Chains A and B, each alone.
Chain A
Amino acid sequence: MGDQVGRSRPRFDLPGRVRGLVSHVGDQPVGTAAHVALHRSTAPHARIGEVHVDEALAMPGVYAVVTGLDLYKQLGDRILTGPAFADQPGLAHEKVRYVGEPVAAVLAADLKTARAAADAVWVDYEELPPVYDLRDALDGDAYVHDELRPSSVFGDLKHLRGVRDTNVNYEYNLRHGDAAAARDAGAATVTGEFWAPPTHHVPIELPCTIAWVDAGRLEMLTTTQTPSYVRQTVSDLLDLPLSRVRITTKPLGGSFGAKMYDRLEPLAAALAWTTGRTVRLVASREESFLLTTRHGAGVTSSMTADADGNLVSAIADVRYDTGAYADVGPRITAKSGMVASGPYRIANASVRSRCVYTNKPSAGPFRGFGVPQVTWSHESLIDELAHRLGADPVEFRRRHLLREGDEAPMGTTMHSADFVGCLDAVANAIGWDQPIERGDGRVKRGRGVAVGVKAVLTPTIANAVLQMNQDASATLLISTVDMGQGSDTIMAQIAADVLCLDSARIHVVRADTDATPYDTITAGSRSTYHTGNAVRKVAEAMRTKLIGFAAQHFGADDVTLDADGLHHGDAHVTIPELIHGHFGARGATVTAEANYTTEWVPYDKETGRSEKATEHWFAGAVGVQLTVDTATGRVHLEHLAVAGDVGKAINPKLVEQQLSGAAIMGIGHALFDQLVLDQGQVINGTLLDYQLPSIKDLPDKLTPIIVESPHATGPFGAKGVGETGILGIAPAIANAVRDALGVRITTLPLTPESIVAALERSDPWTLEEK
């Protein structure tokens, strides 16, 4: 083994990133491509009558105006796509389901003309009753979709096909013991009504897709985290073999879940295919807010302890507002529902988690995949329960946290999930055991902690192809997309370590489905473990090949590889000499390939439990010390410590940046970041109004902490970390506010207004005591 893993090697293209020389999709010259602008629905829920396009079509520079009906005539029901449900048309057909839904696409010589022409389209609507919130969606009789249409991707959704008269597209239930009876028999119960609002990812790079037809193939350059998924979607949409679809990417300017599954790509493919033109779609910042959001989620929940302080019951009713289209909401509903009781030993747990349609922009994946919303519930509840029992919130959690080998309430065993280590690390960092100066006037001080648990997406598939070049440099082909997390860098480190090379000599090819092999998605913190394992395996396969060549060369089996090359006793050959000699050519290449696939055991139909729901766990903790100005309600973060168990840090600096970056994003979610809708219409969808953390919102001190509890089957013991840091931020901050002021707030974000309102309530307790 080499010395590449465990080093904070800088990103290989860092100087280029700093100077803006790394090219992105939007930089691609497109020559005479048609620029596309979309006419969007003004109605939240309506039947589409006539779409009037003549005026737009007559404008100089307009090539074509395409409606949903036009696409339907050519592609039929194939225009409906989506990862869990085939429910989303590229352009609305028959019905519109949210304000801002694309209804017609204008293709024109330039974007300005296209946008002007899109404004000149007008539509006759027959309005239908809209469904704006979860309550209406669950209790009312207006339905966003006439019937459910599960996609072919997930076999376990098949039974939902054709179900009518509901807005619930998926329900996950966990039954472990008898949670209701245990609650009733318990000594202390806290109950809460929690709300986490929709938010937006706002990667600074805007989504952009360029699609064209080349020799009967559909080719595309797009900002996506999921090139392999997009390839399949386009193949299904256009009824083409996979070999006639090519999806390429460039490094993304951030994504966080925004640029995955069906965004601009199905529409771009349909427009290029049906018009034969190269098309370029770019979303403005305002339009980006309509492409996807984080699920707003309501959680009604309770946690109960017996007289000895043992946790005996956790109950949660979780409702995810998925908007007009399911996207991956059903998966979020299950994967988050199964951890809604938190990372604790609890004898009885009951969870009902539902994914609900409403007439709003569709919600999809967002860093944390629905888990921050349930963490908001369980970390508030356990904190309050500790207070009620007069217990120290850190000690109380510590006592109940799952340990190595414990079975979680949802049935899967814990391994390499050091919750206790993470909690201890953050508590220690913020001086939990040190006396606290409370403040006696207007400004009060408090501390809080929270712990998070999340399962990695399972089952998934990763593949890697490695070409060793004759000069002992290497080319690694994977479909993992580097969007700032540094995957290209750590994958090179993993391969280099196995092959005793300098990782700087390994080039990672940008995802191109003509060349790079299938990879499920770059999301859910799965790449380090899954693709990392495929890369480790492919490098091992390459090492075996090289050793085989060397065995021939030396005429002996006993060969070793190190940084100097290959050895047999005192005999030595360098890799360039070996490959040159083997093929008799300079510049020759040696190729190896490897696959890494994980399996799961599907949830039991009755109990929702699974002995292996996931390949591995993420464990994280957050500790906060803050002050609150009781006059303004404003929170000031003095110190925030965030810890994550990553198994083994392949690149510690990149791990720290994932932890601190997730923490900063989480600070926004805790204090001010939310997408505000009124009557289904986004009202803060510009960066003048939408609030993102700036450098001014940093805590005085931010401490990322790496915890390493090696995973038995991780590459070098490693697991991912992209989401770990964000899970507990909001509840840790709310718990610290509770500590400072004695008020418990259950609705995010904790705006100064909500804090002042909580202080002024005659009964500040939102959580009920039994």
Chain B
Amino acid sequence: MTTQITVKVNGVEHFLDVEDDALLLDVLREKVGTTSVREGCGVGACGACTVLSGGMSVSSCLALAVRYDGAELTTAEGLDETDDVVSSFVDCDAAQCGYCIPGFVLMSRELLAENARPSECQITEHLEGNICRCGTYPEIRKAVAAAAERRSPR
């Protein structure tokens, strides 16, 4: 069965016909064109398909699209270069191949919205479900701390 849903992606409303079993990941890539949302594992274990729904992180590879009728979604391409998290990642060289990095950026946004001054341990706990195979973790950790500092200087 097909259902029409309305989702706001990065502030733009989209009216989409989606199959009942369509995954949010596929709908975003194929119907909305948000290619920063990527399939890496298909089982919620790598974080490359992360999106924010109402500010909350979601593995779009495990999410039924019909459930996101009316949702406000953010993907990494929706953040501009002056965004605290984006600019901190850039300044800390926190991307090598970069394929997984949009997922880390969104997880970091979620963390900082909940906790303005996360400890290193809290950063680690929040990002544990995202895999960077290039091994950019040290730079990512620095970038999140830098973003926190940028947002709310001590």
Residues in A lying within 8 Å of B, measured CB to CB: 8, 10-11, 14-24, 26-27, 201-206, 251-254, 256, 284-286, 483-486, 653, 657, 660-665, 686-688, 692-696, 698, 702
Q: How far is the CA of A15 from the CA of B37 in the complex (A)?
A: 16
**Minimal beta-carbon separation of A54 from chain B (angstroms):** 27
Give the chain B neighbours of A662 by CB distance below 8 A: 135
Known interface pairs A204-B46, A657-B93. Does A22 touch B98 (Cβ–Cβ under 8 Å)? yes
Known interface pairs A203-B133, A285-B40. Does A18 touch B128 (Cβ–Cβ under 8 Å)? no
Give the residue name and chain of the A residue nearest to B48 (CB).
Answer: A204
B60-81 CB contacts (< 8 Å) to partner A: 75-77, 79, 81
Give the chain A neighbours of B93 by CB distance below 8 A: 8, 10-11, 14, 653, 657
- The reply to whether A205 and B99 form a contact with Cβ atoms under 8 Å apart is yes
- The reply to whether B105 and A19 form a contact with Cβ atoms under 8 Å apart is yes
- The reply to whether A15 and B133 form a contact with Cβ atoms under 8 Å apart is no
Give the chain B neighbours of A286 by CB distance below 8 A: 42
- The reply to whether A202 and B133 form a contact with Cβ atoms under 8 Å apart is yes
- The reply to whether A657 and B136 form a contact with Cβ atoms under 8 Å apart is yes
- The reply to whether B97 and A10 form a contact with Cβ atoms under 8 Å apart is no
| Chief secondary structure at chain A's binding surface | loop
Q: How far is the CA of A27 from the CA of B29 in the complex (A)?
A: 8
Q: How far is the CA of A696 from the CA of B130 in the complex (A)?
A: 10
**Minimal beta-carbon separation of B149 from chain A (angstroms):** 18
Query: Does B134 lie at the interface of the complex (its beta carbon under 8 Å from any beta carbon of A)?
Result: yes
Q: How far is the CA of A10 from the CA of B94 in the complex (A)?
A: 10
Instruction: Name 11 A/B residue pairs within 8 A (Cβ), A-sorted.
Output: A19-B36, A21-B77, A24-B38, A27-B29, A202-B131, A204-B40, A204-B100, A286-B42, A484-B134, A486-B96, A661-B134
Query: Does B148 lie at the interface of the complex (its beta carbon under 8 Å from any beta carbon of A)?
Result: no
Closest 10 CB pairs of A and B: A20-B36, A484-B97, A253-B99, A17-B98, A664-B135, A661-B135, A20-B102, A687-B41, A687-B45, A484-B96
Known interface pairs A284-B42, A687-B131. Does A20 touch B90 (Cβ–Cβ under 8 Å)? no
Q: How far is the CA of A18 from the CA of B39 in the complex (A)?
A: 16
- The reply to whether A206 and B40 form a contact with Cβ atoms under 8 Å apart is yes
Give the chain B neighbours of A23 by CB distance below 8 A: 35
- The reply to whether B81 and A19 form a contact with Cβ atoms under 8 Å apart is yes
Q: A20-B98, A687-B41 are in contact. List 10 more A-B contacts (CB 8 A).
A: A17-B95, A18-B90, A20-B38, A24-B99, A201-B133, A254-B133, A485-B96, A664-B135, A695-B132, A698-B138
- The reply to whether B135 and A15 form a contact with Cβ atoms under 8 Å apart is no
- The reply to whether A687 and B43 form a contact with Cβ atoms under 8 Å apart is yes
**Minimal beta-carbon separation of B62 from chain A (angstroms):** 12
Q: How far is the CA of A694 from the CA of B81 in the complex (A)?
A: 27
Query: Does B8 lie at the interface of the complex (its beta carbon under 8 Å from any beta carbon of A)?
Result: no
Q: How far is the CA of A686 from the CA of B45 in the complex (A)?
A: 9
- The reply to whether B98 and A253 form a contact with Cβ atoms under 8 Å apart is yes
Known interface pairs A206-B40, A483-B97. Does A695 touch B48 (Cβ–Cβ under 8 Å)? no
**What is the total of A-B residue contacts with beta carbons within 8 Å?**
158
Q: How far is the CA of A657 from the CA of B129 in the complex (A)?
A: 21
Q: How far is the CA of A68 from the CA of B4 in the complex (A)?
A: 42
Pick the most buried of A20, A21, A206, A284: most chain B CB atoms within 10 A of its CB.
Answer: A20
- The reply to whether A695 and B124 form a contact with Cβ atoms under 8 Å apart is yes
Give the chain B neighbours of A661 by CB distance below 8 A: 96, 134-136
Q: How far is the CA of A26 from the CA of B29 in the complex (A)?
A: 10
- The reply to whether A698 and B99 form a contact with Cβ atoms under 8 Å apart is no
- The reply to whether B86 and A688 form a contact with Cβ atoms under 8 Å apart is no
Give the chain A neighbours of B43 by CB distance below 8 A: 285, 686-688
**Minimal beta-carbon separation of A650 from chain B (angstroms):** 15
Give the residue name and chain of the B residue nearest to A24 (CB).
Answer: B99
Q: How far is the CA of A512 from the CA of B102 in the complex (A)?
A: 27
- The reply to whether A660 and B135 form a contact with Cβ atoms under 8 Å apart is yes
B67-122 CB contacts (< 8 Å) to partner A: 75-77, 79, 81, 86, 89-90, 93-102, 105
Give the chain B neighbours of A24 by CB distance below 8 A: 35, 38, 99
Give the chain B neighbours of A15 by CB distance below 8 A: 81, 86, 90
Q: How far is the CA of A653 from the CA of B91 in the complex (A)?
A: 12
Give the chain A neighbours of B99 by CB distance below 8 A: 24, 203-205, 253-254, 484
Query: Does B140 lie at the interface of the complex (its beta carbon under 8 Å from any beta carbon of A)?
Result: yes
**Minimal beta-carbon separation of B98 from chain A (angstroms):** 3
- The reply to whether A695 and B127 form a contact with Cβ atoms under 8 Å apart is yes
Give the chain A neighbours of B96 by CB distance below 8 A: 254, 484-486, 657, 661
Give the chain A neighbours of B138 by CB distance below 8 A: 660, 698, 702
- The reply to whether A18 and B105 form a contact with Cβ atoms under 8 Å apart is yes
Give the chain A neighbours of B81 by CB distance below 8 A: 15, 19
**Minimal beta-carbon separation of A2 from chain B (angstroms):** 22
- The reply to whether B36 and A205 form a contact with Cβ atoms under 8 Å apart is no
Give the residue name and chain of the A residue nearest to B95 (CB).
Answer: A17
Q: How far is the CA of A15 from the CA of B82 in the complex (A)?
A: 10
**Minimal beta-carbon separation of B75 from chain A (angstroms):** 7
Known interface pairs A660-B138, A702-B138. Does A686 touch B128 (Cβ–Cβ under 8 Å)? no
Give the residue name and chain of the A residue nearest to B85 (CB).
Answer: A18
- The reply to whether A285 and B42 form a contact with Cβ atoms under 8 Å apart is yes
Query: Does B139 lie at the interface of the complex (its beta carbon under 8 Å from any beta carbon of A)?
Result: yes
Pick the most buried of A17, A254, A695: most chain B CB atoms within 10 A of its CB.
Answer: A695
- The reply to whether B136 and A20 form a contact with Cβ atoms under 8 Å apart is no
